[in-house]
Amino acid sequence: MTFGRIPDDNQQPRYGQPYAAPQYQQYQQYQQTPAQDQYAQTPYAGTAGAGAATMDAGLAYSYEKAQRVSITKAYGEMTIGLAITAAVAILTQTTGALYAFLAATGMVGWIGLAVVQVGLAIYLGARIMRITPAAARAMFYVYAALMGFTLSSIFAAYDIADIGVCLALCAGFFFALTMLGLTTKFDMLKAGPILFVGLLMLIVSQLVVAIFFPSDGALQLIAAIGVILFAGMTVYDAQSTRAIFRQYQSQGPDMIRKVSIICALNLYLDFVNMFLYLLQLFGNRD
């Protein structure tokens, strides 16, 4: 099952110089003799050049430090969301809450869970600029809890050892892909439209295979394609997170906190989907 992700239509970075060159006022020079000019201006010019270089270096350092802090914040929120999902999934499986819920509501309850999750994610993406950071964070945590409630069903379908191995494998892949996205010079943002078209095709193909060609081989092929696609999405969202913080860094800490939530949600969805496809590809159903 592929869970939806937040579209990045409003998150495409606008490239430009983050800092504009300062416009210095030109002062009228005093009339001096050539010897005096050479004697007076040379040390001054050298001092000004060194000062400007020091200021530029300081600005660059502050910018890089702020960017690292912002990216760390987004990945920290993603980690909290994953921890909530895992905790709720284990608690739900232990108490049998999902089975009790489905016994009382049937297929309507299952569809309702999916609709609520998709609606909450879309609302968060559409209203992120108008709500407070606390409200955005609360909505993200509620979404993560609902995801955990739904994903508790994997404990009935797969062995616990397979779940643990695929989770560790996904974490390793995710870390490596994130480092690749943040360090490579290749601009993965240009591949965004291709990735989103691929995501839509994956969802449609998975529905068609599940309804008309429900064979293990076809499902394994879909799972392999899903792993590759969400590996690309992970690299894309790592670079997109950096570009989004660059775009909104001048709008204050509240804006940074809000966009860190939407970035965390996209990264969270990349991780969850890649984990599910890895589990479908390598896990043995009970």
| Residue 95 maps to a domain | yes
Q: Which residues pair with 189 in a beta bridge?
A: none
| Residue 122 maps to a domain | yes
| Residue 27 maps to a domain | no
pLDDT tens, residue order, the chain (286 aa): 555 555 554 444 333 333 333 333 333 333 344 444 443 444 444 444 545 444 444 444 455 666 677 788 899 999 999 999 999 999 999 999 999 999 999 889 899 999 999 999 999 988 888 889 899 999 999 999 999 999 999 998 899 999 999 999 999 999 999 999 989 888 889 888 999 999 999 999 988 888 887 788 888 899 999 999 999 999 999 999 989 888 887 787 888 888 899 999 999 999 999 999 999 998 877 5
pLDDT tens per residue across span 46-55? 444 545 444 4
Buried b (16+ CB within 10 A) or exposed e, 189-205: bebbeebbebbeebeeb
Please report the pLDDT score of residue 134 as a whole number: 92
| Residue 31 maps to a domain | no
Longest dimension (CA), the chain: 97
Please report the pLDDT score of residue 43 as a whole number: 44
Please report the pLDDT score of residue 75 as a whole number: 93
Please report the pLDDT score of residue 47 as a whole number: 47
Please report the pLDDT score of residue 117 as a whole number: 93
Number of domains into which the chain is organized: 1
Please report the pLDDT score of residue 129 as a whole number: 85
| Residue 2 maps to a domain | no
**What is the number of other CB atoms lying within 10 angstroms of the CB of residue 280?**
21
| Residue 71 maps to a domain | yes
| Residue 52 maps to a domain | no
Cα–Cα nearest to 154, from 5, 4, 275? 275
pLDDT tens per residue across span 79-100? 999 999 999 999 999 999 999 9
Please report the pLDDT score of residue 71 as a whole number: 86
Domain span at 93: 59-282
| Residue 7 maps to a domain | no
Please report the pLDDT score of residue 226 as a whole number: 95
How far is the C-alpha of 159 from the C-alpha of 286, rounded, in Å? 6
